[in-house]
Amino acid sequence: MTYQNILREDADGIATVSVNRPDKLNALNDLTITELQHCFDALTHDDAVKAVIVTGTGEKAFVAGADIGELASQSPLSARPLAMKGQRLMDTIEACPKPVVAAVNGYALGGGCELALACHLRYGSETAVLGLPEVTLGIIPGYGGTQRLPRIVGKGRAMELILSAKPVNAEEAYRIGLLNKVFPQSELIEATRKAVIGMTRHGPVALRFALDAVNHGMEMPLSDGLNYEATFFGLLTSTDDVKEGMNAFLEKRRAEFSGK
For the annotated catalytic residues, the residue numbers are: 114, 134
- Burial per residue of 15-51, b for 16 or more beta-carbon CB atoms within 10 angstroms, e otherwise: bbbbbbbeebbbbbbeebbbbbbebbeebeeeeebbb
Residue 84, number of CB atoms within 10 A of its CB = 13
| CA dist., res. 163 & res. 48, Å (int) | 42
* Residue 110 CB coordination number (10 Å): 29
Cα–Cα distance between 137 and 177 in angstroms, integer? Answer: 26
Rounded distance, CA 141 to CA 28, Å? 13
How far apart are the C-alpha atoms of 214 and 202, rounded to whole Å? Answer: 17
